[in-house]
Amino acid sequence: MEFRGKVVMQKYDLGRLLGKGTFAKVYYARNISDGQSVAIKIIDKEKVVKAGLMEQVKREVSVMRLIRHPNIVHLFEVMASKTKIYFVMEYVKGGDLFSKVAKGKVEVGDARKYFRQLISAVDYCHSRGIYHRDLKPENLLLDENDNLKVSDFGLSTLVDSERLDRLLHTTCGTPAYVAPEVISRMGYDGANADIWSCGVILFVLMSGYYPFQDSNLMEMYKKIEKGEFKCPHWFSPSTRKLVAKILDPNPSTRISIAKIRETKWFRKGLDGRKMKIKQPIEDNSHLEAATAHDNPESNAAEEKNNSTKITNLNAFEIISLSAGFNLSGLFEENQNKQTWFTSKKSASAIISKLYEVAKMLKFKVKKKDGGIVKMESLKEGKDDLTIDFEIFEVSPSLYLVEVKGLNGDTWEYHKRLKEVRPALTDIVWRWQGHLNPF
């Protein structure tokens, strides 16, 4: 492999260009210390910020950091310089599935293997509240053993991103693979939408062309919304039956992944055995605290009558706040004016203590909705400092308080924080940067 003579972050030798897009380029690279081959996605930070894609990049990192599956590209680490963001990922050298299907349909046995691996990966993501929302052959890579690897989680979303109606509302994805309910913009279930995309991928693998085609995009959308497609004559009855159940335009009657696994076509060659895909051992200890609040009966009685609405913090958000994985510094100007601490005290006890400390340190206090306590300096002038304390419930017995400095300068913020921290000793369990309880 030819290397370009450039070293990234004093850790990786950069090799040839693997691909590029509007905001990023992907290179082959090699870890200097152990020689491991990796792929490095280099993102232009300024372009991302100007395009308003900051949250999309953060989302992709948060999602990829959470998932460990043999059929999903593994993210090793994220690094950043003043102008670039570096995603260091597993190097998958077999190319993408699109390159294979562009040559025509694939053999039935290969299509079945790829589809099984795709379903396994998607099912794994759904079990963790993650929806990909842009499944297509271009985002499905093949390794040296011809095994499928799902990549590109830039458009993915997490279950906690849903509205109160439990539906997603962002129209996204690639037109030929997008589900009809996504096009309708009436709200959709992320799992059902991903299943539809899997069905389109299966059709393309088996036929070599799209099920829904038209030179006019609106006409193609009409066909998708009606589920109008025709299977080629070489599709077997079991293939036709499965494709029809997946490409059902009604999401409420569309086949589920559990039912897909039970179909004759999917199970062929498994000899009646339950298909098992070896999963890597996961350390989920960091998720335990975050999932404890799922049991409504375990909420502390003293919080039932608390008029302050405390936001539940999910596992994904906890990980994004972890000291080694907080991306706010990659984009935000005030990254030096924020920190957080955890507490085992109740929300009301935390709020009471904040009031006490504010009075002691001569701050004016305002309590806002959503569990936010705002401390304002009584000093008059343009450099007045405001510090926000926002309280999040991780579990009934654990809260996270995010501390942000607003207005004022960084020096003043750190000066006053040094006064605040010792005064909060009674309620603080761990400050950011100390032993992480998650």
> Where residue 316 falls among pLDDT bands split at 50, 70, 90?
very low
Return the pLDDT at 378: 63
Of the listed ranges 75-84, 353-362, 391-400, 427-436, the one predicted with least confidence: 427-436
Return the pLDDT at 320: 47
Return the pLDDT at 188: 74
The single residue of 96, 134, 194, 248 carrying the catalytic annotation is 134
Does the pLDDT of residue 341 top 70, yes or no? Answer: yes
- Pick the more confident residue, 409 or 208: 208
Annotated active-site residue 134? The verdict is yes
Does the pLDDT of residue 49 top 70, yes or no? Answer: yes
User: In terms of CATH architecture, what is 285-431?
Assistant: 2-Layer Sandwich (3.30)
**CATH level 3 topology of 6-90:** Phosphorylase Kinase; domain 1 (3.30.200)
> What's the whole-number average pLDDT of the chain?
77
- Pick the more confident residue, 173 or 391: 391
The model's pLDDT over 114-157, given as tens digits with 9 standing for 90+, comes to 999 999 999 988 887 788 878 999 889 999 999 999 987 654 44
Does the pLDDT of residue 312 top 70, yes or no? Answer: no
- Pick the more confident residue, 222 or 19: 222
Does the pLDDT of residue 315 top 60, yes or no? Answer: no
> Where residue 255 falls among pLDDT bands split at 50, 70, 90?
very high
- Pick the more confident residue, 435 or 356: 356
Q: Which amino acid is at 156?
A: S
Of the listed ranges 212-226, 274-288, 289-303, the one predicted with least confidence: 289-303
Mean pLDDT of 413-432: 86
97-267, superfamily in CATH? Transferase(Phosphotransferase) domain 1 (1.10.510.10)
Does the pLDDT of residue 95 top 70, yes or no? Answer: yes
Return the pLDDT at 148: 95
> Where residue 266 falls among pLDDT bands split at 50, 70, 90?
very high
The model's pLDDT over 166-225, given as tens digits with 9 standing for 90+, comes to 344 344 446 888 888 888 766 778 889 999 999 999 999 999 999 998 888 888 889 999
The reply, when asked if residue 41 is annotated as ligand binding, is yes
- Pick the more confident residue, 165 or 241: 241
In the chain, where the domains are located: 6-90, 97-267, 285-431
Return the pLDDT at 39: 92
Of the listed ranges 94-103, 104-113, 365-374, 398-407, the one predicted with least confidence: 365-374
